[in-house]
Amino acid sequence: MSIISKIKDIISRTAQRALGLDGIRFKLDVALERLEKLDHLETTLTSLEAGVSANANQADPVEPVSDQRFAAGPTREESLAQIEALDAPEESKANGSSAEGTSLVITHAELCGRHGTGALLLKLLRNEPSLTVFYSHDFFKTHDTDAPSFHIVHSGGLGHNGARLVRNLLARKKVRRILCVPFYKDDVQTALTAQACTGAPLALYIMDDQNIHVREIPDDMLGRLIERANICFAISPALCAAYEQKYQRRFWLAPPTADPDLFVPSDYNFTPNTPPRGLVVGNVWSSQILSRFRETVRLSGLQIDWCGNAGKPFVELDPVDLSKEGIFLRSHLPEPSLIELARAADYALIPGGTLDGTDTHEWLARASLPSRMVYLMATANLPLIVMGHVETAAAQFVINLGLGAVCDYSADHFQKAVREVTDRTTSDRIRARARSLSPAFSTRELSNWLWESMDKGQAVDERFEGLIPRDHVLPSVA
């Protein structure tokens, strides 16, 4: 239906409803409100169509973090669907509704298991009685939730329209609380607008650094969000320390967690493989690290199963070429199959950063803690081998908790690390350690802990601070 036809149709339907109410005079303001939304839609679509060709050539499919910042916004069909959602009765919207209001999560991509942030948020928020999702980049073309999800952009000269869309979407929705997990400045702008127009309490959760080592999010913008937040969390001790030092605000540690229903059963007995077989789960975003990882495995003569999204849609890998190098691509397995494969492996391998200036994703390695590490520790009790520099967040996690070994990108060091963690005595010790730590990383109570901490303005307890100690912790300041 064209925009003009839609205007006529809305006016007609509004008039019919109004005239049917005991002959009450037609309420022009109701129609004008909807016309304003359609005017916004038409302006947005015109701007998008003019800018798409200019922006299309700026994206490098191999390096999405630094080069996909100007990804096109919602398509015409998506925008029409979002306008339709404004008029949908609250009780008819997906994921139900709550008398207390909806929990609004603001993140950078679709809420799906194809990337670490999405997988973690799905587990964290799965029991929310009412959930609404705002996201800035349409990377994976899928959602693993029935919650209403809206693609909102502010970049490319559409800042005013993006903010207005946020206000329109929230105008008749009661927002109970906001969780912002920012990666792009669009995410921060959406959170600032949503918090300003709803007054809802906001929790900021930094999972990836995009302000200190990488300057995607400007200081003044993130500073305003930190000031407005009731509480600030970060996923690793390194991120907590870096943001506390820069912004002089307490950041509480909230590491990745795993579903306790998937923990290794107490009667499970592992049978070693000969030769040992490794497992990689998830994405390798850096083309440099990917090349070094493949070369190291090829020269080592060892075999690795690689499960997960494997970098798609940004990285395209040939399964035949990988198999010749000893890497067997298993793609995105159903979770029961993935867990079965993980429990049969001898160790898990985490390709990490080298911190030598050659890696375009050094910022990711320095401070971000891959959620798959906790997942594999808890669901399979696997010994972990981190490839890369000992000062990366992943390596420090393994060293501090006694969960495996760290090696560089050389076949000799990799083979040595495999021998170390698959030694029967060492393997049994690491697996027992993983089993004892798993309950502390349970997702089951994490959402309650997070929301209660937000209400209080500080963590209700220091369950994670004591588990992974860090230096130079700021005092709690709201």
Span 388-410, pLDDT tens digits: 999 898 999 999 999 999 999 99
Q: Which residue bears the tokens 């198999």?
A: 323
Structure confidence by residue, pLDDT tens digits, 366-386: 778 888 999 999 999 999 999
The reported pLDDT for the residue numbered 457 is 95
CB 82 within 8 A of CB 150: yes
* Total count of residues recorded for the chain: 478
Q: Is the pLDDT of residue 437 over 60?
A: yes
The reported pLDDT for the residue numbered 387 is 95
Write the CB contacts of 174 (distance below 8 Å, at least 6 apart in sequence): 100, 101, 102
Mean pLDDT across 347-359:
85
CA–CA separation, 77 and 338 (whole Å): 35
**153 three-class SS:** coil
Bridge partner residues of 134 (DSSP) = 106, 150
The reported pLDDT for the residue numbered 123 is 84
Residue 179 phi, psi (nearest 5): -120, 120
CA–CA separation, 409 and 411 (whole Å): 7
Instruction: Please report which confidence band the pLDDT of residue 98 belongs to, taking 50, 70 and 90 as the band edges.
Output: low
CA–CA separation, 335 and 262 (whole Å): 10
Instruction: Please report which confidence band the pLDDT of residue 250 belongs to, taking 50, 70 and 90 as the band edges.
Output: very high
Mean pLDDT across 332-356:
92
- Which of 226, 225, 245, 227 minimizes the C-alpha distance to 237? 245
CA–CA separation, 444 and 437 (whole Å): 15
Q: Is the pLDDT of residue 100 over 50?
A: yes
- For 346-364, b/e burial (b = at least 16 CB within 10 A) is bbbbbbbbbbeeebbbbbb
DSSP state of 224: H
Q: Is the pLDDT of residue 65 over 80?
A: no
Write the CB contacts of 224 (distance below 8 Å, at least 6 apart in sequence): 192
Structure confidence by residue, pLDDT tens digits, 440-469: 999 887 888 999 999 999 999 988 887 876
Average pLDDT, the chain: 80
CA–CA separation, 407 and 417 (whole Å): 6
The reported pLDDT for the residue numbered 79 is 52
57 exposure class (CB count in 10 Å sphere: 0-12, 13-18, 19+) = exposed
Share of the chain above pLDDT 70, in %: 73
Where is pLDDT greater, at 56 or 124? 124
Where is pLDDT greater, at 399 or 157? 399
Mean pLDDT across 238-250:
93
The reported pLDDT for the residue numbered 139 is 82
> CA–CA distance from 375 to each of 233, 257, 262, 439 (Å)?
20, 7, 9, 12
Q: Is the pLDDT of residue 159 over 60?
A: no
Instruction: Please report which confidence band the pLDDT of residue 160 belongs to, taking 50, 70 and 90 as the band edges.
Output: low
Q: Range with the lowest mean pLDDT among 51-65, 122-136, 263-277?
A: 51-65
Residue 28, H or E segment: helix 28-56
The reported pLDDT for the residue numbered 341 is 96
* Angle, helix 219-228 to helix 185-198, in steps of 10 degrees: 40
Residue 234, H or E segment: strand 231-234
Q: How many CB atoms lie within 10 A of CB 340?
A: 12
> CA–CA distance from 134 to each of 52, 226, 359 (Å)?
21, 19, 31
> CA–CA distance from 18 to each of 21, 86, 116 (Å)?
6, 19, 49
The reported pLDDT for the residue numbered 361 is 62
Mean pLDDT across 150-170:
80
CB 408 within 8 A of CB 387: yes
CB 103 within 8 A of CB 133: no
Mean pLDDT across 142-150:
86
Structure confidence by residue, pLDDT tens digits, 26-54: 344 444 445 544 554 554 444 444 333 33
**pTM for the whole thing?**
0.74
Bridge partner residues of 328 (DSSP) = 305
The reported pLDDT for the residue numbered 75 is 54
Residue 427, H or E segment: helix 424-437
Q: Range with the lowest mean pLDDT among 141-145, 336-340, 386-390, 432-436?
A: 141-145
CA–CA separation, 423 and 248 (whole Å): 45
Instruction: Please report which confidence band the pLDDT of residue 179 belongs to, taking 50, 70 and 90 as the band edges.
Output: very high
Residue 368 phi, psi (nearest 5): -90, 140
Mean pLDDT across 108-129:
84
Q: Range with the lowest mean pLDDT among 157-166, 169-178, 180-189, 350-359?
A: 157-166
